[in-house]
Amino acid sequence: NAGVTQTPKFQVLKTGQSMTLQCAQDMNHEYMSWYRQDPGMGLRLIHYSVGAGITDQGEVPNGYNVSRSTTEDFPLRLLSAAPSQTSVYFCASSYSTGVGNTIYFGEGSWLTVV
Amino acid sequence: DQQVKQNSPSLSVQEGRISILNCDYTNSMFDYFLWYKKYPAEGPTFLISISSIKDKNEDGRFTVFLNKSAKHLSLHIVPSQPGDSAVYFCAASVYSGAGSYQLTFGKGTKLSVIP
């Protein structure tokens, strides 16, 4: 069972470079989201999508862009990488946004910006 | 303003004993609470949840207690096993409009179960 798949797992970027973190899920989930985890900060929501063609900002959206052209894919784009974006990124999905719906996370993408 | 607080960054417990992880929240609009478990180099995985209309939910060795008046919930693990060693995140859900619910996570508590 693939579940939520993120690529790449590790990436080093130079300041100012752009890149895309890929996320795909095979569970036909409507709701997808991106979180970042920083030491001592827990998980913070970057962007989310409630369905194909619909995206919205989370708690920390600045410097990131998303799109949702299909139900399966939800890529996260770093427009101009900054050292403050060094973090672990988790993509997540759930069947719906209803209360109590379990969110499934990918394994994470470790990004270092130098 | 941190709406979900896990004030203990770490906890060490002897194998076989009870582990109690605590979580406090400030937003009275939260209506569903979840615990996630995270091993190093892996994504968080769902562990157990509780609706705000209940005060207890049990699943095997894991029990979550909710005290709405105190805005406090706790996760009890009995008996604790070495495989339970992980970071535990408390999360709370609130309706954010347009049919969407958002999760707010605490900073996590690292549990170490000593054999």
By the CB < 8 Å criterion, does B46 face chain A? yes
Say if B108 is an interface residue toward chain A (CB within 8 Å): yes
Q: Which residues of chain B have pLDDT under 70?
A: 1, 97-100
Query: Contact, B19 vs B111, CB < 8 A?
Result: yes
- Which tokens belong to A35? 């979180």
> What pLDDT shows up at residue A6?
96
Helix (H, G, I), strand (E, B) or coil at B83: helix
* Residues 46-105 of chain A whose Cβ lies under 8 A from any Cβ of chain B: 48, 50, 56, 58, 90, 92, 97-105
Q: Let me know how long chain A is.
A: 114
Three-class SS of B23-57: EEECCCCCCEEEEEEECCCCCCEEEEEEECCCCEE
What six digits make up the tokens of B48? Answer: 């157990």
The stretch A86-114 carries a mean pLDDT of 88
**Interface contacts A/B by beta carbons within 8 Å:** 62
φ/ψ (deg, to 5) at A22: -95, 145
**A70 burial via Cβ count (<10 Å: 0-12, 13-18, 19+):** exposed
**Percent share of chain B, pLDDT over 90:** 83
Residue A52 reports pLDDT greater than 70: yes
Binary contact (A58, B44; C-beta < 8 A): no
Band of pLDDT at residue A98, cut at 50, 70 and 90 = low
Say yes or no for a CB contact (<8 Å) between A105 and B43: yes
For chain A, the average pLDDT equals 92
Report the residue from B51, B99, B108 with minimal CB separation from A50: B99
Share of chain A above pLDDT 70, in %: 95
